Amino acid sequence: MVHQKKKVVEEVSGWLRIHDDGSVDRTWTGPPEVKFMAEPVPPHEEFKEGVAVRDVTVDEKSGLKVRIYLPQLEPDYTDNNHNKLPIIVHFHGGGFCVTQADWYMYYHIYSRLARSASAIVVSVYLRLAPEHRLPAAMDDGFSALVWLRSLGRGHGSYEPWLHDYGDFNRVFLVGDSSGGNVVHQVAARAGLVDLSPVRLAGGIPIHPGFVRSVRSKSEMEQPESPFLTLDMVDSFLKLALPEGCTKDHPFTRPGGLAAPPLDGLNLPPFLLCVAESDLMRDTQMEYCEAMKEASKDLELLISPGVGHSFYLNKIAVDMDPHTAAQTTALIDGIIEFIKKH
């Protein structure tokens, strides 16, 4: 029997290939020197550089998993509500099509955030398109929040790190790039239900993947980066959005005419993080203005002289003093926001 070689019918610049039989290959084929950032980091329940990491299955039926980062506690830590740690629920980026919660690019920054903010980070393994088109990622993000509610109410399985150290009254959502879109959608859903004892204290979209059908000025003028090209934006969203939908869909344009009116949403305070040289800067700022017009509590943190998801690029963080300084400023801004709420 002759086996025909699978043909690539669609490819997204180094990140993803779709074959004629419908299978998807996400083997990294870009520059080999950056491949380490796309490598999975195994969990380690012993503390390394002040953080321990474990993977937990949230739902046996669906297979939904989360990665939990626990910072090392001070020797004088006492288990009382005053000392409980805020919980940061993290949604990874990747245009809804690539990357995983255990990749080194997230490990290096979210272990640092857990340590610096003295917070527990719960990073959700979101399902990926095209196998799982939207709203799959939003559903997974919301399911993780419902799981936290069940833990807080003493239902389901016992999760010692969250039970012993987590403050369910101070839960924050944070998302990189397309994960920022998930932050908005999950926060909007959360505003419709009783999550007690969980209190959603804030949402932090970092360089969210907000776009529209008509190219913005920044899309046409800002330089492309390894983490974001126009081809990636168009190709990933074509694979991720519901069939037949345009970039004006509420998932990618939450402040647009097709989206539920923002003034009708019950949202927590938001910290919108924008990179000055991001291709999507203009559409992120349109979202900012729409939120303010809807009288939503929104702070803006702008990182000058850097591009989309700059803080995830470990090479630039290590080699370029400006990227390193802006990464520190971003983390400090997030910590300040968390302390206020």
Which residues belong to the active site? 177, 278, 308
Cα–Cα distance, 288 to 181 (Å, whole number): 13
Measured between alpha carbons, how far is residue 110 from residues 68, 146, 203, 215, 314 in Å? 10, 22, 16, 32, 12
Measured between alpha carbons, how far is residue 286 from residues 96, 118, 145, 282, 292 in Å? 22, 33, 28, 6, 10
Convert 95-119 to b/e letters by CB count within 10 Å (16 or more is b). bbbbbbbbbbbbbbbbbbbbbebbb
Comparing CA positions, the residue from 337, 335, 340, 341 lying closest to residue 115 is 335
> Across the strands, what pairs with 112?
none
Comparing CA positions, the residue from 137, 118, 121 lying closest to residue 129 is 137
Cα–Cα distance, 202 to 190 (Å, whole number): 11
Tokens 């690019």, residue located: 105
